[in-house]
Structure 1
Amino acid sequence: MVDTPVKQEEDVIHLNGLKNESDINTSSLQKPKRPSKKRSHEGELELWRLPPAYNTLFDVFKIINTTYTFLYSKSSLTITFPLLNSSIRQSLRRDLSLLELSQLKTVVPELIELNYKSLESLIMETNKNVYADMPRQTYTDGQHSQESNYILTVFLIQTSESTVKRQKKEGPTMKSRIQKGKFDINALKKEIDNRNAIFSKGLQKLLRFCSSKRIDPEKHLIEEAEKRIPTPPDAVANSPLKAGEDHELKAPSSIEDVLVNLAEEGTYEGQIVRESLYQYPAVEPRFGNLKRNLSQSLVNALYSSKNIERLYSHQVDAINALWENLHVIVSTGTSSGKSLIYQIPILDELEKDIKSTSFFVFPTKALAQDQKRSLMDVLSYMPSLAHIRIDTFDGDTPIEARNGIIENATIIFTNPDMLHQTILPNHRRWDRFFKNLKLFVLDEAHIYNGIFGVHVAMIMRRLRRIVEYYHNDRYRFISCSATIEQPVRHMNMIFGVKNVKLIDYTASPSGAKHFLMWNPPLVDKNNVNSGRKPAIMEAANLLIYLCERKVRTIVFCRIRKACESLMRLVRGQLKASHKEYLLEKIQSYRAGYTVQERRKIEKEMFCGNLYGIVATNALELGIDIGSLDAAITVGFPSSLSNLRQQFGRAGRRNKSSMAIYVVETFPVDQYYLQHPTLIHTHPNAQLTLDLDNEVLMANHLQCAAFELPINTMSDSRFFEGELFEICKNHLAEKENDLFLPHPKFLPFPAAQVQIRNINEDMYTLVDVTDDKNVVLEQLEPFRVMLGAYEGAVYVYQGKTFIVKSLNISRRLITCHRVDVEWSTLQRDYTDVDPQRNLGRKTLQSGNINVFQGIVSVTLHVFGYFKVNKQRDILDVVDIVDNPVEMISRGFWIDVPWHIVEMLSWKKINGAASIHAAQHALMSLMPIFSGNGGNDIKTECKSGEKEFKQEASERRRPSRLIFYDNCGECGGADLCKKAYTYIDELMIMAVDRLQNCGCKIREGCPQCITSIQFEGGICSGEVLDKWGALILLKMLIGQNVNLDLYPDGPEVDEYHALRTLIPT
């Protein structure tokens, strides 16, 4: 999708035609008098048809192709132009020129990559100084001639995933898939032939084009190649573009035109899934009338600030309900004008009672700031309320400013954390605010789910208790949410209130919304087993294609690493295709960036300076970043609700918009690929709040008792369940049936009750390039250990940095900017162990127990690999292991030892079977949990630990175990949901393993691979599909005939189970 080729046979290159026919040399197009009758090889040009210069160029390519292929097969070094030149000099009998190399790329731009790499990055790639003595290009800075610090590298694209693969070494045990073996000589020859055939076809296309345009093919090739000669980045003339050339973006296209043209592109390979095409028709607005008139001042302010003359009927219904003293839940799609539903009532209330106060609670600081700006825009046109003070009260609010806010603020923008730890425990200082509270706004209610949702529900009950302590019964709750299942039930559970009015329709206008699924094409279209091209690469191509046409686009990635990898791909492709003018138009955005950086990106997007943004779900929420035309989702996100939320980010100008779901090869993606209509018809997963969680309730009762002594009789209207029993068991009893906090929670209970899994020990990543000391982002300890260890390649805004130092005591990481084409992959293992059993159930088979409770997660990183784009190991590095521990919730199944022994009889590795079974189950969990992705993890196995020849010191229990990635406090209790549906999950996993057509022992993305394999989270080395199938079938009580399954690769029973111990 990067380039727009000419249609039909003119799709090789864009050309500037000659001014007149007198410039044309047609002699080179004439055939020789005595053509050869010898047939050429399949796919190769008949040499008598080639002009002499083309014939010579083809010979040069074949020499380069053969030499490069064998060089690449024998060395881990990057193939540089000086290395290639010295290797072919004898065969060519001269030096290869840069112009010739550029001519080759002009003929087949999709086959050859020419990039300059810094000398520093090449040396760091393998810790070898072999590159230092290579000749480098010189350039002039206008006065002096200088030697470049960059070396030109040459890379020939593999034509098939299966052609150039190192053979796996055979041995007594399974081997790591990243182990470097030998190349298959037959595969090398096949690859050489394939590339020669592609080059010959490129020459044919170029000749046909020249013939149709009546231009000299030799002259034309030289002219085009001269434009493409690569230039070192440190040269003064560092851009191949001439002044003003190609800097103007293409004219805006309608979404309908883009959709039509997308399938007509020369690079289109049938990626659009026809069955998925879906259009939501344009919707006309519907207006309503309020039951009472707004003041002229407020009407004028709405018109002046937002150009609003009338309100939509859903806004009217919500405001009327608030005026009738009802609580309101608004559950509608994005961009429906939800913010006006709470802005208008509070401004109307303030005009009637200047003492009125309001809390506006948002899950993130960015969203609070965005909504504060929006409200102040309206207020700026209301002179009568000019003295009203609106403040943000969060963790960034200076201590010295807090007293003034408490005493004078009318509207507070805050978050649940501040309510819990600061406002409610100090409510007597806030008595003015609570006495006059009229409106409490809780935005993005769908965020409050699982354990975090229970925490917030308890905070809301504590808040109601305090407000009513100040004899205030005039307050109302209003909650806004994305479209969710049973929104009234959700609001009842969050606030514990009745009399709720539901607004679940949208009367605002919207343009037509086009939806499609994009299935990456096969690597080799003639080989269905070749696998599919990476979804992230397809998304990069789509983003560039759309941005070129001024289609403002957002791309959603599941994890930070994918976000940065995609941005890195985009930057690389733009540079390779000489479209540097687009670099400043596309940026990435995700959690972890500094506040200043994120605000800057938001402003750039809002002002229309960016045409593309690559983000994680940090932009799913309603931050106003302006109007977007297209949304691309790479891989299934956490849930259908998240997917729909991401789609809704496009189409905010009442114009047509499009949403593209680029599917991965993971089972949940494949499930929706096979059932595309479910994306639009399947209900959202129901949000769950376990208000019977006695531990969490007891913790918040400690906080409530600190705020006001608890009377179990009168306070039972706020706290459901066995209030007296819980207080009796966990709190300190006082006379007169009152309860106070238990002494162990004193002096300040809220400080001991953590509502999110926030680690205070954040690390700061600092760019020290050229001694500039710029803070890039904040990282949690787990992320540091997995991606910011000393020597790691760290990607930020698509740019690569090398981590120089990691200071654990100071929580400081330093890095410096280096352009590298390789990456680092951690060598690690994780121990997950049960700590406390909180529940048990029995599988339907009747004799296998499933437990759920508290688990500990300990991460060990003991080194890393340097790997290139082809996943070849360039170097192996050891580092000091600094384990990181986290406490979380999870569930587990102890595998009976007789099952492990049965696997060993078949010489099937027990650890690989357990690991594969875990991933097979985990890949299906999003279907039931309503969430997923990286939110549920398991104990992954390391090939280095499992397959080493000597006796292993790390022997692990034979257990399937899973845990919530967000920790004990911050998660959505997803493992508990999966635990509830474990019987259905087991049956589905058995069915998928049994019916998957792959014959690979490690399985494939359709049966085993979960998204834990994305971004190197799990190496996927220690897997056995057949062992997993046998194990799962036995756990659910199905009969197993071992003779139907192939033997494993282990030499004997001992090796098959030597890294496991009975539970």
Structure 2
Amino acid sequence: MNSPVAEYVEALLASERLGRQVRHHRLLPGREAAFAAPRRPWASAIGELLAARGVEALYAHQALAADLLRAGRHVVVATPTASGKTFCFQLPVIEAALQNPDSRALAVYPLKALAQDQLRGFTELTGGLPEPSRPSAAIYDGDTKPSQRAKIRKRPPNLLLTNPEMLHLSLLPHHGAWAQVLANLTHVVLDEVHTYRGVLGAHMSQVLRRLMRLCRHYGSDPCFVFCSATVGNPAELCRQLTGLDAMPVTESAAPSGARHMIFLNPEDSPASAAIQLLQAALSRGLKTIVYAKSRRMTELIALWAGDKSGRFKDRISAYRAGFLPEERREIEARMASGDLLAVISTSALELGIDIGGLDLCILVGYPGSVMATLQRGGRVGRAMRESAVVLVAQEDALDQHFMRHPEDFFARPPENAVLNPANPVILPRHMVCAAAELPLDLSRGGESYLDGPGARQALASLLASGELLESADGREVLSPRKRPHHNVDLRGAGSQISIEDADTGEVIGAVDSLRARRETHPGAVYLHRGRSYLVHSLDIPGATVKARAARVGFSTRVRSSKDTEILEILGRRELLGTRVSLARLKVTEHITGYEKRSTRGGELLGMVALDMPPSVFETEGIWFDVPDEARRAAEAEYLHFMGGIHAVEHAAIGILPLLVLTDRNDLGGISTPMHPQTGGAAVFIYDAMPGGAGLAREAFNRAEELLARTLAVVTDCPCELGCPSCVHSPKCGSGNRPIDKAAARFLLQELCCGAPGEDRPPSITPTPKEEDAMPEQATQPGAPAVVTPRRYGVLDVETRRSAAEAGGWTRPDLMGVSVAVLYDSGPDEFIDYAQEDIPALAERLKSFDLVVGFNIIRFDYGVLAGVHPFAYRRLPTLDMLAHVHERLGYRLKLDNLAQATLNVGKSADGLQALQWWKEGRVDEIARYCRQDVAVTRDLYLFGREHRYVLFQNKAGQKARLPVDW
């Protein structure tokens, strides 16, 4: 008797309409399990736990991973979904807790729901052990109640489950409260480690290095366990993340049921085909998950499927990032209980969240990688059940490539996962966090954290900018801020922006600031849980989008223009008929307007202009030179050269995910017939995120294959003039104009088989070095910058009235002068001035090359201006307080700097001086004021000679503050 899944597949293949759209059907046979025993037998207590679960023996890969961990080795287990990776680390963690109740393990999950699943599994597994020796476990995340958090910190469990954000924001900055965990840490588990690539991977590479640094500080050296979906380079990925060498375990010995793989190329829209497939599955009672490639398509399919599914309408739900946590938990629970029969999701449900047994997976569009396809398909058919995966192709180049060459999918190994641990935008932020956690040790061999990729360069830049500070003795590096961690968002190189309902103020979603201009610009259509909203306003500095619910029959897509500047060449080589370069780039994008397109049919309804500030960021990218000979040959054939290189750009970006684990949305491109730096035509492909994610580096290494694959895509596509399957891009800022497929094919043949032509390295303007840059003085615009003045003065003014008496600190002009003291470096003397003498003071000030003071611009000059009309702020001025504020981001008192640098302090304060004025004790005021001027002078001279002054930070440490006086 056929299973319901087999009947579903038979009906699909026999369908008069959908059957002819099936391009390939393959039945992947099930597989029997292979068992093995660990080299050393488990303790009897663990054997009893396994027996209670009905486990007579471990799968061979579980036993191998456990053997390696028990021998103190780092391990990466990269096997398919539902292959039992959890036992690989749970059993060694339990064994360590039974051997030593003080042992601790830390498990990090990219999603809160995964941690909830793992806690349930761990609790069920250990439930049979007697209470005194039973290993404890607890979740510490944003949903943990404050009272429970305090209990966990006081008595941490043997297994602490958390997520990247809590590790970064809570455990590491408050490591003193977690000393018991860090000092006794035996295992660190990183689940779904393949998700730590791109921007998140760059952040996590730094978070994990900071964790290992604190482990060394507390005397522990834990084994790392990495669990991953099947990727092409699991050991290399873990090395990029942590610098550790992990032993790969990649051969799964778990059993699997038979699985139908169906490739369907729809005649209508992919969404319509998916809905038909879903309706047939619902009628057979098959639990189904539908994956869409975008938030918008997820919402639309859920909306349309609900409208067309009759009695099943309330048993279908969308699920995506941007939903509020309570909304996602509700959907997960309903799916696991069987209340929901179908869920339409973005990649948010790609990971192993328990939503019950599933029968059918429908992929609306190729997920972008073999790895993701296997991962999503692995959600169905658990426990040896027969299952089916249907890939519904879109018009994308990769989709159509596999529709034409399905055998390539099954023969192709999983892609490499890449990240850039030295991302120059992300690394410095974490280095500031690391210094706030523990001062960085500058002694020889004292700080292995600084041996990481790009760390020394980042440190030098941070010290030069004042974002990090040397200690008074120069042996350590300190952070000027106690808790800089909240300024670092692990999920993006930019910050998160809240999307609010303009009528109710309710938060309905979130968007990364890097995507906000493209997705939530004024006039954009935003979809959330089946409802459409029109964006009313976008406030990037205020991190807020206002949107209003509206029923519309159109979608929006931005138009933009881009240009790029080559900042630094990282690699350049000749290949085939061209040259390829790897470089650091600056990309500038101008959003010029947006299209309105009909929801059904995609007809262009109109264009709306936008006036928005440009988006500018630095990243890594490659470019191919297009030789002049190739250009002349194309023009001689009357081909559209610009349309050709534009089409080459689109085709190469579309096919690049075949080679590296990414999505085309993580990539950007620019094609130009004449780049001012290269002196010729060029096609650029870059990482579409600040600092780069390592994608361009991998593309540079595999550039020959990229060109060959791109030529094959353009040549194989049966269209005549170009289409989304070959040279059109769904996110092209110019609306895919101009595009010339014939020119692209011609140029790609030239690039693959022609002559590279003359090598013309690009012209690059060198970036000024820090020491060559003119020091910035805290002075008014237009005032001359004085570096080594021949004659300078130091000024301080005491007042007759307090701020309260004058109406606030904004009215120094009403405070009056009791005494002003000026030090003149020419005759080396102090001069006192009463209020009636201020005109004479002004005349003397005009003779100085530099006037020095502390809060002189905002306060002293304001007081003087209220007494005598003179343009004091036009004087060449060094305001020490302004300089300190610019460097640190906060203000310091003169007394703090004087005590730390000169070991002298003030003899009085401003309130005492006001009291003396009321008592007529002007001599006391002058004496006090002269001391302030002398301290300010000596501080200025110390800073000018040593290029730093000292201050005491909030932690009571003396630190060097770099100055350019």
TM-score in terms of structure 2 length: 0.68
| 1:460 and 2:208 matched | yes
Correspondence list, 1:312-331, <5 A = 312-331=59-78
Change (3 A) 1:551 1:1019: farther
Q: In structure 1, what is the equivalent of residue 297 of structure 2?
A: 562
Amino acid of the structure 2 residue aligned with 1:824: S
Report the CA distance between 1:651 and its aligned residue.
1.0
Change (3 A) 1:626 1:838: farther
Amino acid of the structure 2 residue aligned with 1:432: Q
Change (3 A) 1:832 1:963: farther
- Kept in 2, the 8 Å contact 1:452–1:972? The answer is no
Change (3 A) 1:403 1:387: farther
- Kept in 1, the 8 Å contact 2:202–2:693? The answer is no
Amino acid of the structure 2 residue aligned with 1:672: F
**Partner Cα distance (2:75, 2:449) in 1:** 20
Cα distance per residue 1:744-789 (max 9 Å; x no partner):
x766676677654253341223385xx6x65432223455443444
Correspondence list, 1:360-399, <5 A = 360-378=107-125, 382=129, 384=131, 390-394=137-141
Q: In structure 2, what is the equivalent of residue 280 of structure 1?
A: 29
**Partner Cα distance (2:226, 2:363) in 1:** 27
**Partner Cα distance (2:292, 2:237) in 1:** 28
Q: In structure 1, what is the equivalent of residue 9 of structure 2?
A: 259
Q: In structure 2, what is the equivalent of residue 211 of structure 1?
A: none
| 1:517 and 2:247 matched | no
| 1:347 and 2:94 matched | yes
**Partner Cα distance (1:713, 1:736) in 2:** 20
- Kept in 2, the 8 Å contact 1:852–1:976? The answer is no
Q: In structure 1, what is the equivalent of residue 738 of structure 2?
A: 1022
**What percentage of residue pairs aligned between the two structures are identical?**
27
SS at match of 1:341: helix
Q: In structure 1, what is the equivalent of residue 163 of structure 2?
A: 415
| 1:834 and 2:565 matched | yes
**Partner Cα distance (1:651, 1:737) in 2:** 64
**Partner Cα distance (1:458, 1:877) in 2:** 42
Q: In structure 2, what is the equivalent of residue 975 of structure 1?
A: 696
| 1:741 and 2:477 matched | yes
**Partner Cα distance (2:217, 2:255) in 1:** 44
**Partner Cα distance (1:805, 1:693) in 2:** 32
Amino acid of the structure 1 residue aligned with 2:264: W
- Kept in 1, the 8 Å contact 2:264–2:403? The answer is no
Change (3 A) 1:1019 1:735: closer
**Partner Cα distance (1:709, 1:809) in 2:** 36
Amino acid of the structure 2 residue aligned with 1:255: V
Count of residues paired in the alignment: 746
**Partner Cα distance (1:881, 1:413) in 2:** 43
**Partner Cα distance (1:594, 1:438) in 2:** 35
| 1:661 and 2:391 matched | yes
Change (3 A) 1:503 1:844: closer
- Kept in 1, the 8 Å contact 2:500–2:545? The answer is yes
Cα distance per residue 1:979-1031 (max 9 Å; x no partner):
3333443344345445655432xx12343134547xxx773343222444455
SS at match of 2:35: coil
Correspondence list, 1:89-488, <5 A = 254-274=4-24, 276-284=25-33, 286=35, 288=37, 291-294=40-43, 296=45, 308=55, 311-378=58-125, 382=129, 384=131, 390-394=137-141, 404-410=151-157, 411-420=159-168, 422-449=170-197, 452-453=200-201, 455-473=203-221, 475-488=222-235
**Partner Cα distance (1:300, 1:849) in 2:** 60
SS at match of 1:581: helix
Report the CA distance between 1:384 and its aligned residue.
1.0
SS at match of 2:690: helix
Q: 2:372 aligns with which of 642, 651, 661?
A: 642
Change (3 A) 1:561 1:256: same
Amino acid of the structure 2 residue aligned with 1:1007: C
SS at match of 2:15: coil
Report the CA distance between 1:716 and its aligned residue.
5.1
**Partner Cα distance (2:592, 2:328) in 1:** 30
Q: In structure 1, what is the equivalent of residue 880 of structure 2?
A: none
* Structure 1 or 2: more strand by fraction: 2
SS at match of 1:329: strand
Report the CA distance between 1:310 and its aligned residue.
5.1
Q: In structure 2, what is the equivalent of residue 609 of structure 1?
A: 339
Cα distance per residue 1:652-696 (max 9 Å; x no partner):
232111111222333322332333233233222233456677897
Moved more, 454-463 or 597-606: 454-463
Report the CA distance between 1:451 and its aligned residue.
6.1
| 1:507 and 2:229 matched | no
**Partner Cα distance (1:660, 1:666) in 2:** 17
Change (3 A) 1:552 1:846: closer
- Kept in 1, the 8 Å contact 2:578–2:755? The answer is no
| 1:1004 and 2:723 matched | yes
**Partner Cα distance (1:283, 1:541) in 2:** 34
Amino acid of the structure 1 residue aligned with 2:215: V
Report the CA distance between 1:801 and its aligned residue.
3.9
Moved more, 858-867 or 690-699: 690-699
| 1:675 and 2:405 matched | yes
- Kept in 2, the 8 Å contact 1:364–1:415? The answer is yes
Amino acid of the structure 2 residue aligned with 1:439: H
Report the CA distance between 1:862 and its aligned residue.
2.8
Change (3 A) 1:795 1:716: closer
**Partner Cα distance (1:724, 1:987) in 2:** 39
SS at match of 2:344: strand
Report the CA distance between 1:730 and its aligned residue.
7.2
Report the CA distance between 1:441 and its aligned residue.
0.6
Report the CA distance between 1:360 and its aligned residue.
0.6
Moved more, 914-923 or 870-879: 870-879
Change (3 A) 1:756 1:812: closer
Which structure 1 segments of 5+ residues have no match? 1-250, 522-532, 947-955, 1041-1061
- Kept in 1, the 8 Å contact 2:371–2:415? The answer is yes
Correspondence list, 1:673-752, <5 A = 673-688=403-418, 707=438, 708-713=440-445, 715=447, 719=451, 740-741=476-477
Report the CA distance between 1:560 and its aligned residue.
1.8
**Partner Cα distance (2:182, 2:707) in 1:** 51
Correspondence list, 1:804-953, <5 A = 811-815=543-547, 817-820=549-552, 822-834=553-565, 836-844=567-575, 848=579, 850-865=581-596, 867=598, 869-874=600-605, 876-878=607-609, 881=612, 883-893=614-624, 911-939=642-670
- Kept in 1, the 8 Å contact 2:271–2:301? The answer is yes
**Partner Cα distance (1:751, 1:1033) in 2:** 51
The alignment yields a C-alpha RMSD, in angstroms, of: 4.2
Amino acid of the structure 1 residue aligned with 2:559: D
Change (3 A) 1:381 1:713: same
Report the CA distance between 1:865 and its aligned residue.
2.2
**Partner Cα distance (1:758, 1:369) in 2:** 28
SS at match of 1:278: strand
Change (3 A) 1:961 1:399: farther
- Kept in 1, the 8 Å contact 2:623–2:682? The answer is yes
Change (3 A) 1:481 1:280: same
Change (3 A) 1:857 1:366: farther
Change (3 A) 1:485 1:737: farther
Q: 2:275 aligns with which of 540, 547, 557?
A: 540
- Kept in 1, the 8 Å contact 2:202–2:422? The answer is no
- Kept in 2, the 8 Å contact 1:283–1:512? The answer is no
TM-score in terms of structure 1 length: 0.62
